Structure 1
Amino acid sequence: MHWTPRRERFRALLAGDRCLHPGSVYDAISARIAEDLGFEIGMFAGSIGSMSVIGAPDLITLTLSEFAQQAYRINRAGNLPLLVDADHGYGNALNVKRTVEELESAGVAGLTIEDTDLPQPFGTVGKTRLIPIAEGIGKMKAALAGRQDPTLAVIGRTSAVQVTGIEDAIARARAYEAAGVDAMFFTGIKEKAELEAIHTAVRLPIILGGVAAGALRDRDYLSSVGVRICLQGHQPFAAAVQATYATLKALREGADPDALPGVAPADLMKRVTREDDHRRWMQDWLAG
């Protein structure tokens, strides 16, 4: 498949003047639903990848190949530009280069590489640690070297605001900007002053990994301070888990299958599985 056009659309959104909320997706059907509903961007998080693919919490036990394969399944289901959370790049700078190569081949439009010390080192349970800035720069350079399609967006990511403070977050963002990344992704921002300080210091488009309630959820305000993408969390997957649990529990307890609440109607199932297209293809190619 030819992935460049959706990457160009993603870059145009980063270069725009509006803050967008991406649709959190985890498989082919959820990606189609997000696209059908008009989301401009899909977001596939590492945590959701771990839960949806191997049923494990977000502790970096998912492998690169498992994550890339699921990203490919999401991408081939439609035409939604997909931003993915590539965590720490699954290792050191050499692994980061390989990560970019695999995810580019899987069709993603943008990917984030973070500077968190992952997986959790021995003796640090309960503590979030960051790698040194110099190592983070090396990872960003490796990510850029691994990119073959120049339209793929490589995004630096840091949680320094909540771990080491705003000054360190700005220093890391400036360093990754100088290395050549296309945008910066921040987590842990809780105050307007923090965001405004970052906006003043960094020229790159800003992506936020969720924010506190109040002014930081005002899209007009976020747009004015350089935020182009702001995550809203990953409730769709949690809602799907709840619905599946409730449905199976009801069936196990003897509920009438025809009277279950919350089941997608037949017309919705046909729409998200593109049944009309498949029926047309069968008629064109198999009818004889």
Structure 2
Amino acid sequence: MIERTHHELRKAFSALLKGSVCKFAASVFDPISARMAADLGFEVGIQGGSVASMQVLGAPDISLLTLDEYAEQVTRVGRTSQIPIIGDADHGFGNALNVMRTVTELQKAGVAAITLEDTLLPAKYGEQSYALIGAEEAASKIYAARFARTDDALCIIARTNVSVTSLEDSIARTTAYQKAGADAICLVGVKDFTHLQSLTSHLCVPIMLINYGNPALSDVEKLSAANVRVVVNGHAPFFAAIKASYDALREQSGMQGADIPLPELISKYTYSEHYREWAKTYLKSDSSAV
């Protein structure tokens, strides 16, 4: 097997973005899953932040994972993978200066691209978990990310959730991110192709979709024609591994009882209820603090 360098993998991902065909990203979470994805013909993978939070901390995706912890995990994937890996950099782990550090660490880890989202993280208690920061601040993070990279082949992907704001605001945001130099725009919450067209007709850069299996956006030819180059359909491989692990351990233990559905299984073993109670106790707004 001829191994490709990180720079070569970044060039391959850049070529994918500049191509004419939409590709589905494999959700990978360790070296073996990355090797499997390459062997099964995937041309790009993604290491999800939510997956890393569960895998590294056994915790839900509530911004507990640190940059160092994520970088360590993606390094294990990056040094093995022979397909380009997209790193989920969340909000860059802080402000624009933190973004610069994030780019430095994830570039060193071997990712081919990073997504930077405009979500307000960590979420404030009592407010929606998908509140967005200002477009100007988010665009500044894109500028900072471009400045910090030392390999121009590393792609900076600006991510926004279009389901939590107006169409006009989403268009203004993505316009600003494209102007700031984003190599691609990642959209979350697109309803259908009509919605996609409204959101992207002003853009020149390629599109990435976080789709979670929406059947209204499953036509590969139409996705390709709409300048969508990467689609992420959730993180089913990791969740399947969790369920299989539980079932195998239960069988080995000899314990009897009803099977636990996957959502309940994830909630139970990431201590979701504990975190909700801790949030009620310790996350107080300025007006309610004692």
Q: Call closer, same or farther: CA 1:96–1:46 in 2, change over 3 Å.
A: same
Following the alignment from structure 1 to structure 2, what is the Cα–Cα distance between the partners of residues 7 and 127? 32
Following the alignment from structure 2 to structure 1, what is the Cα–Cα distance between the partners of residues 211 and 150? 30
| Contact preservation (8 Å) 1:190, 1:212 | no
Following the alignment from structure 2 to structure 1, what is the Cα–Cα distance between the partners of residues 130 and 20? 33
Following the alignment from structure 2 to structure 1, what is the Cα–Cα distance between the partners of residues 5 and 212? 34
In structure 1, what is the equivalent of residue 137 of structure 2? 135
- After superposition, residues 33-182 of structure 1 pair within 5 angstroms as 33-124=36-127, 126-159=128-161, 161-182=162-183
Report the secondary structure of 2:201's partner residue: helix
Following the alignment from structure 2 to structure 1, what is the Cα–Cα distance between the partners of residues 67 and 129? 24
Following the alignment from structure 2 to structure 1, what is the Cα–Cα distance between the partners of residues 107 and 246? 35
TM-superposed deviation, 1:192: 1.8
Following the alignment from structure 1 to structure 2, what is the Cα–Cα distance between the partners of residues 116 and 215? 25
Report the secondary structure of 2:23's partner residue: coil
Rg bigger for which structure?
1
TM-superposed deviation, 1:121: 2.1
In structure 2, what is the equivalent of residue 242 of structure 1? 243
Note the alpha carbon deviations across 1:116-136, whole angstroms, 9 max, x for none.
Answer: 000112442x44210011111
In structure 1, what is the equivalent of residue 283 of structure 2? none
Q: Give the TM-score normalised by structure 2.
A: 0.84
| Contact preservation (8 Å) 2:213, 2:233 | no
Is it true that 1:230 corresponds to 2:231 in the alignment?
yes
TM-superposed deviation, 1:201: 1.0
Structure 2: segments with no counterpart, 5+ residues: 257-290
- After superposition, residues 264-279 of structure 1 pair within 5 angstroms as none
Following the alignment from structure 1 to structure 2, what is the Cα–Cα distance between the partners of residues 254 and 230? 40
Q: After the TM superposition, which of the residue ranges 173-182 and 115-124 deviates more from structure 2?
A: 115-124
In structure 1, what is the equivalent of residue 33 of structure 2? 30
TM-superposed deviation, 1:211: 5.2
Q: Which residue identity does 1:10 align to in structure 2?
A: F
Q: Which residue identity does 2:35 align to in structure 1?
A: R
TM-superposed deviation, 1:197: 1.5
Note the alpha carbon deviations across 1:162-218, whole angstroms, 9 max, x for none.
Answer: 111221111111101001110000000012222011231111100000156334111
RMSD of the alignment, in Å? 1.5
Following the alignment from structure 1 to structure 2, what is the Cα–Cα distance between the partners of residues 85 and 183? 14
Report the secondary structure of 1:97's partner residue: helix
Q: Call closer, same or farther: CA 1:127–1:35 in 2, change over 3 Å.
A: closer
Q: After the TM superposition, which of the residue ranges 180-189 and 205-214 deviates more from structure 2?
A: 205-214
Note the alpha carbon deviations across 1:1-29, whole angstroms, 9 max, x for none.
Answer: 94100000000000001111011000111
Note the alpha carbon deviations across 1:55-103, whole angstroms, 9 max, x for none.
Answer: 1111010010110111110011231110111000000111011000100
In structure 2, what is the equivalent of residue 206 of structure 1? 207
Q: Give the TM-score normalised by structure 1.
A: 0.85
